[in-house]
Structures are given as C-alpha cells and as structure tokens.
Amino acid sequence: MVSSEVTVNNRVGLHARPATFFIQRANSFKSSVWVEKDDRRVNAKSLLGVLSLGIVKGTKITIVADGSDEEDAVNTLVGIIESDFTE
C-alpha cells in the first residue's frame, strides 16, 4: 500500500470537470485507489464518492493505492493534482 498527501490548489477544487478527469485516470489503474480527507475515505474511482468529500481549493487530501500498480497510481494522481489538472 502506497499513499501520498497533496494540497488541491486549482480554482474550483476537486469538483465537476476536474473530478471527472481525476476519476477517469484513477480507473485506468488495476489497483484499488482511495481519496482520504479528514476521517473519510472514498473510492477514487467513484464520482459520487469523490464529490461527497467537498474538496475545495486549499484542501489537503491523501491518495492511497493498493495493488500491482499502486506506486504508479499514486504518483500519477498526485501529479495531476499538483499540475492543477492540466495534464
């Protein structure tokens, strides 16, 4: 299991279009992937789950993955967030 904390800095946070892009990338991995905020953990491959976290600009989240491509999954998803979803 691999995890990494990242701060969401894009203007709208992880909402609507950015969340859809994020989830599409998460679904490209075989590993199970989660997003954690505070005490909550949701499936990173679920639009409703990710949106339910209410992630706005400046929110710190943790990306967690477990599986055969876990390291690549975490690195890719953290990279997308750090690039403000411009990949």
Enzyme catalytic residues: 15
- In the chain, the N- to C-terminal Cα span, in Å, equals 25
Count Cβ atoms below 10 Å from residue 39 Cβ, excluding itself: 5
Tell me the backbone φ, ψ of residue 81, rounded to 5 degrees. Answer: -65, -45
The answer to whether residues 28 and 77 touch, using CB atoms and an 8 Å cutoff, is: no
